[in-house]
Structure 1
Amino acid sequence: MKPLLWLILAAALITNVSTSFAFDGVQQVLISVGTGVATLTAAGVLFATRRRAGA
């Protein structure tokens, strides 16, 4: 599960950065919002499922 989340996180970040170069207007905003949500969700799940050092 974690490798898939890392893959989603990396792909969403790369896509989010590249959309500013490839698209304009509403299309760019919609793609950026979608990839931003995917990035935040994957990062949040990875943070929530991390192992703590003291446990």
Structure 2
Amino acid sequence: MKSLLWLVLALAAIVNVAANFAFGGTQQIIVSAITGLTAIASATALYLTRDRRTA
């Protein structure tokens, strides 16, 4: 599960950067918003599934 979340996070970041070069105007905004939300969701899921260690 965690490896899939890392993959989604990495792909979202790559697509977000590529969208800056491939699209312009409204398309760029929409693609960046979708990939940004995907990155936030996968990062949140990774945070919630982390190993909790007590000191």
Shared fold per TM-score greater than 0.5: yes
SS across alignment from 2:27: helix
Cα shift readout 1:2-49 (whole Å, capped 9, x = no counterpart) = 111000000000111111111000001000000000000000000011
> Is 2:42 the counterpart of 1:54?
no
Identity of aligned residues (%): 49
TM-score where L is the length of structure 1: 0.92
Unaligned runs of 5+ in 1: none
TM-score where L is the length of structure 2: 0.92
Unaligned runs of 5+ in 2: none
> Residue in 1 aligned with 2:2?
2
Q: Tell me how far apart the structure 1 counterparts of residues 53 and 14 of structure 2 sit (CA, whole Å).
A: 30
Q: Tell me how far apart the structure 2 counterparts of residues 20 and 29 of structure 1 sit (CA, whole Å).
A: 9
Aligned length: 55
SS across alignment from 1:50: coil
Runs ≥4 residues deviating over 6 A:
none
Q: Tell me how far apart the structure 1 counterparts of residues 19 and 27 of structure 2 sit (CA, whole Å).
A: 9
